Structure 1
Amino acid sequence: MRRLHNLLIEILEKILCKSYLLTRFYTNLFKKMTLDEFSMVDLPKDAKILVIGCGSIPHTIITLAENKGWRFVGIDKDREAVKKAKKVIRLFNLEDKVEIREGDGMDFDVNGYDLIVIAYGVEPKEEILKRIWKNTDKGTKILYRSAWEVTNPLYGKEKIPDVNIEKVFYRWDLVKSLLIVKR
């Protein structure tokens, strides 16, 4: 069921991204929640953030790039989504803060970032988290998006590896964000 949900979001974003107004509307749906979510993460003003699974409409990146001084690299393994996300970033005039690249969280270089975001729809999410945990330095911050426990009967329970979860933010879209800091 989780894969069906993720597929529907992928299709929706690929349709909406054809229109600036629809993309802005979609991004604005998540704006306040995203800003509140990232307020739990202490980052320097010039932070560099990697978003794994940015999708065709990288709404997290757009919201934060428009409201923070941070720099972003968004990756997705879907070549079509990457092409569309690059167009969206150009449309929003964010090329100076955002780079979109084709890449997979299972082999992309994860070093040199102040924060690594693992989007909800990323697969195999647990394996990507384990890889990041193994290959990054102490102090690395990871924001791991997972489903609320109430959705377990529908989506199945996620097996989150044994990591240091410092904070949890519950979003209105039934996604919870786990702030993980490697110690």
Structure 2
Amino acid sequence: MKKFFASVEKICCEFYPAFYIYHRIYKNVMRNEIKLANITSKDVVLNIGCGAVPFTALHIVQMTGAKVIALDKDKEAVEKAKKCLSKYKMQKNIEIVVGDGIVENLPDFTVAIIALHVKEKAKMLENLKLAKKTGTRVIFRQPAAGYEEEYGCLPDNYIPNCKISQKMKAFNESHLYLIE
């Protein structure tokens, strides 16, 4: 399923009507996550797993004015995302780079949002804890029942500081972790 959606994104980014519809699907998700992490224009948001349609980055910039650094390990998705943002003149405050967030040194950020399809969530959270200072906010989209194996999830002993319900088929909660 992850490969299917990655392919859909690579097609959607080429045609504005498809891009627009795909982008709009996540507006309420982002509204909830912005509220959950209290994201403001003063934040630098690290978006890990941005894909070819960087809707998380776009919504954050549009709704808060924050700067976003978006990572994806798929080089083709990164190039398509850059082209997409440039084509639709939406690149303001968004930097898109190749990376997976687990093995490399991370840029400075105050908030991180981890895409659902990032499978090694526990390793990701541990790397984020090493990289950042106290008070950094991290959001993980947790898969709905039946999607855990496909998308991976944080183990039960990782207890979020807060969570919010989402009305999505593949994930029904976003979890907030504060780095202490």
Same fold (TM over 0.5): yes
Contact 2:143 2:151 (C-alpha < 8 Å) held by counterparts: no
Q: Which runs of 4+ in 1 moved over 3 A?
A: 152-157, 161-164
- Aligned partner of 2:155 in structure 1 is 160
Q: In 2 relative to 1, CA 135–16 (structure 1 residues): closer, same or farther, beyond 3 Å? A: same
RMSD of aligned residue pairs (Cα, Å): 2.1
Secondary structure of 2:161's partner? Answer: strand
> What residue number does 2:177 align with?
180
2: CA distance, partners of 1:92 / 1:10: 20
- Provide the secondary structure at the position in 2 that maps to 1:86: helix
* Partner Cα separation in structure 1 for residue 168 and residue 88 of structure 2: 24
Distance 1:155 1:66, change over 3 A: same
Distance of 1:32 and 1:71 partners within structure 2: 20
* 2:82 alignment partner in structure 1: 86
- 1:108-127 aligned at under 5 Å gives the runs 108-127=104-123
Identity level (%) = 23
- Give 1:43 deviation, angstroms: 3.2
Cα separation, 2, equivalents of 1:84 and 1:100: 10
Partner of 2:13: 17
- Tell me the matched-pair count: 178
Alpha carbons of structure 1 residues 120 and 156: separation in structure 2 relative to 1, 3 Å: closer
CA distance in 2, matches of 1:56, 1:153: 23
| Partner of residue 98 from structure 2, selected from 102, 105, 109 | 102
Shift in CA distance, 114/55, structure 1 to aligned 2, threshold 3 Å: same
Deviations 1:122-144 (A, max 9, x none): 13222111211233211111011
- TM-score if structure 2 supplies the norm length? 0.88
What secondary structure does 1:151 align onto? coil
Structure 1 residues 104 and 146: CA distance shift in structure 2, 3 A: same
Are the aligned partners of 2:10 and 2:80 in contact in 1 as well (CA < 8 Å)? yes
Amino acid corresponding to residue 165 of structure 1 in structure 2: P
The farther-off stretch of 90-99 and 161-170 is 161-170
Whole-Å Cα distance in 2 between the matches of residues 61 and 140 of structure 1? 18
Q: Partner of 2:135: helix, strand, or coil? A: coil
Amino acid at match of 1:169: I
- CA 1:137 to 1:56, structure 2 compared with 1: closer, same or farther past 3 Å? same
Secondary structure of the equivalent of 1:26? Answer: helix
Worse-superposed segment, 63-72 or 121-130: 121-130
> Aligned partners of 2:38, 2:112: CA distance in 1, in Å?
13
Does residue 1:131 correspond to 2:127, yes or no? yes
Q: Name structure 2 gaps, 5 residues minimum.
A: none
Determine if contact 1:164/1:181 at 8 Å carries over to the other structure. Answer: no
- Whichever residue aligns with residue 168 of structure 1, its letter is K
Amino acid across the alignment from 2:167: W
TM-score when scaled to structure 1? 0.87
